[in-house]
Amino acid sequence: MAARPHSSISISAAAATTTANYPRLYLRRPHLCMPRYPSINQTTPCFLPHHLIIRNANNSVDDIHIIQRRRLLLLPSPPCVFTDDASAHLLQDAGATLLVVAGGYALVSGFDNLTHHQIIQQNLSRKLVHILSGLLYMGCWPIFSTSAEARYFAALVPLLNCLRLLVHGHSLVTNEELIKSITREGKPEELLRGPLYYVLVLILCSIFFWRESPIGVVSLSMMCGGDGIADIMGRRFGIHKVPYNKHKSWVGSISMFIVGFLISIGMLYYFSKFGYFELDQVQTIERVAVVAMAATVVESLPSKGGIDDNISVPLVTMVTAYLSFGLQS
């Protein structure tokens, strides 16, 4: 007997019978994407037009996950690829570095012009650069990315200044405006002492403490703000000298303690607002007061023939802050 062709009604009935007797299958077709784990024969990741996953409706999600994990054990480790996040962090850090370098150059050039036009004195200009350059540099840390390499990009800024000081300090290149703006006596070799120590401390705090630790924040605040204001106030109003050092005054030391303490508190809460660390208000005030007192005493000690303030003040501050806050990195 010749086979009679199925009608559309019979085909539908047969499909319904098949569906009733066998488990239902689901088909999932995700969008075009790079597979997270390439196949065994692949050496480089590739794009698949469709990644089909067919699973039984009666299988549980846990069973599917177990099967997938077993399959992954047979596959090689995924190759390292340059992700979009890494490229975004790189661009952000590079842009932030250029921005901070340009800002530092503009700051120094601005005070050079003020000194050149005799609007402010050279000593005052030098100390204002000492105060503002370090504090503004530290204040720019939040514009860098959250990557682990961000601190090294930030450290490039003082590193460039370090190389600049070495070149001009050894008289390989002459720049009279630079020498006058950041030295006391206008001698090139002075660049290899206080100014060089200053940028080295900036590099040290950037790499080893960064913005997640209050130790580096307080150290730079005391070195830049506290020590800088002590010299300004001591030169102008320092009539009464401390008993053990005729070159230091009570006004300068008191100013260093107060201003250094306030700047340290302000910078700590500035970074805490970005979520880099949490601070207890009472304990923070007590600890910063202890650190500021230790830094003030060290700054008031005789330094002629000894250690420069740009070394002694931040180092003592780091040790005292470590003992007060604990190492948080």
Say what the pLDDT of residue 325 is: 85
For 95-138, the pLDDT digits (tens) are: 999 999 999 999 988 888 888 888 888 889 889 999 999 999 99
* The model's pTM: 0.72
Alpha helix (H) ranges present in the chain?
8-21, 61-73, 84-116, 122-139, 150-169, 176-182, 194-208, 214-220, 227-237, 250-273, 281-300, 309-325
Q: For residues 202 and 157, what is the distance between their CA atoms, to the nearest angstrom?
A: 9
Mean pLDDT of 274-290: 92
Model pLDDT, residue 146: 93
Q: What angle do CA 178, 182, 184 make, to 5 degrees?
A: 120
Tens digit of pLDDT for each residue in 215-244?
Answer: 999 999 999 999 999 999 999 998 999 999
The pair of structure tokens assigned to 209 is 């403490």
d(Cα 131, Cα 125) in Å, to the nearest integer?
Answer: 10
Average pLDDT estimate for 259-274: 96
How far is the C-alpha of 321 from the C-alpha of 46, rounded, in Å?
A: 52
Predicted confidence (pLDDT) at residue 79 exceeds the cutoff of 50 = no
Please calculate the CA angle 62-66-69 and round it to the nearest 5 degrees.
135
Query: What pLDDT, on the 0 to 100 scale, is given for residue 125?
Result: 87
Average pLDDT (62-84) is 47
Tokens for 307, please give them.
């250690």
Tell me what the pLDDT averaged over the chain comes to.
79
Neighbouring residues of 144: CB distance < 8 A, sequence distance ≥ 6: 92, 93, 96, 150, 151, 153, 154
d(CA 261, CA 266): 9
Q: What is the pLDDT of residues 156-200, one digit of tens each?
A: 999 999 999 999 888 888 777 777 777 777 788 888 988 999 999
In single-letter form, the type of residue at position 38 comes to P
Identify residue 263 by its one-letter amino acid code.
Answer: I
Coil vs helix vs strand at 32: coil
Structure-token pair, residue 253: 């030391």
How many Cα atoms within 13 Å fall on the side-chain side of residue 320?
23
Q: Quote the pLDDT of residue 327.
A: 55
pLDDT at 35: 42
Q: Report the first-to-last Cα separation within the chain, whole angstroms.
A: 87
d(CA 109, CA 179): 12
Distance CA 222, CA 251 (A): 16
Token pair belonging to 41: 């024969």
Q: What is the DSSP pairing of strand 241-242 with strand 245-249?
A: antiparallel
Q: Which two tokens stand for residue 13?
A: 């009935």
pLDDT at 272: 94
Q: Which uninterrupted H or E stretch holds 247?
A: strand 245-249
pLDDT value at residue 138: 97
User: For residue 2, is pLDDT > 80?
Assistant: no
Burial class of 241 by CB neighbour count within 10 A (0 to 12, 13 to 18, 19+) = middle
107-142: b (≥16 Cβ within 10 Å) or e: bbeebbebbeeeeeebebbbbbbbbbbbbebbebbe
> Maximum Cα–Cα distance for the chain, whole Å?
127
Q: At what angle do helices 150-169 and 84-116 cross, to 10 degrees?
A: 30
Higher pLDDT, 276 or 8: 276
Q: Confidence class of residue 84 from pLDDT cuts 50, 70 and 90?
A: low
